[in-house]
Structure 1
């Protein structure tokens, strides 16, 4: 049973916004630590948790193992 909501949380929206801005400005996403600093999270694992949730909802796709190489759908 899937208990995950169909919408993005406020924090996930903030992370997605930072990724969009970074891709627009620099052509690639931010590193996990940089994303955490941008949205006010100090733990890299909590940032990765939110990134995985966004990825599971199909909004974000990784091209490799790292999050810096992600792209938006």
Structure 2
């Protein structure tokens, strides 16, 4: 995870852990709570920057553009 800030790495790890535990993508508020942020908009900012760097993190309510059946 090169080029990411500490918070962005925490968000990415929290998102993966959430999916592993619950079987679905987390919401912005779930991610904010997991990394200790008070605002979901701050998470949205970090996710936007992460996507620009080539690390897409899926959240509930946002389509990933991937096939729901095969993941491609």
Shared fold, TM over 0.5 = yes
SS of equivalent to 2:50 = helix
- What is the root-mean-square deviation of aligned Cα atoms in Å? 2.1
Task: Quote the offset at 1:46 in angstroms.
Answer: 0.6
Query: Structure 2 length normalisation: TM-score?
Result: 0.72
Corresponding position of 2:7: 11
The TM-score, its normalising length taken from structure 1, stands at 0.72
2:18 corresponds to 1:22: yes
| Structure 2 gap ranges (5+) | 67-72
Aligned length: 62
Moved over 6 A (4+): none
| Corresponding residue number in structure 2 for 1:33 | 29
Gaps (5+ residues) in structure 1?
Answer: 1-5
* Paired position in structure 1 for 2:53: 57
Alignment of 1:42 onto 2:38: yes
Higher strand share: 1
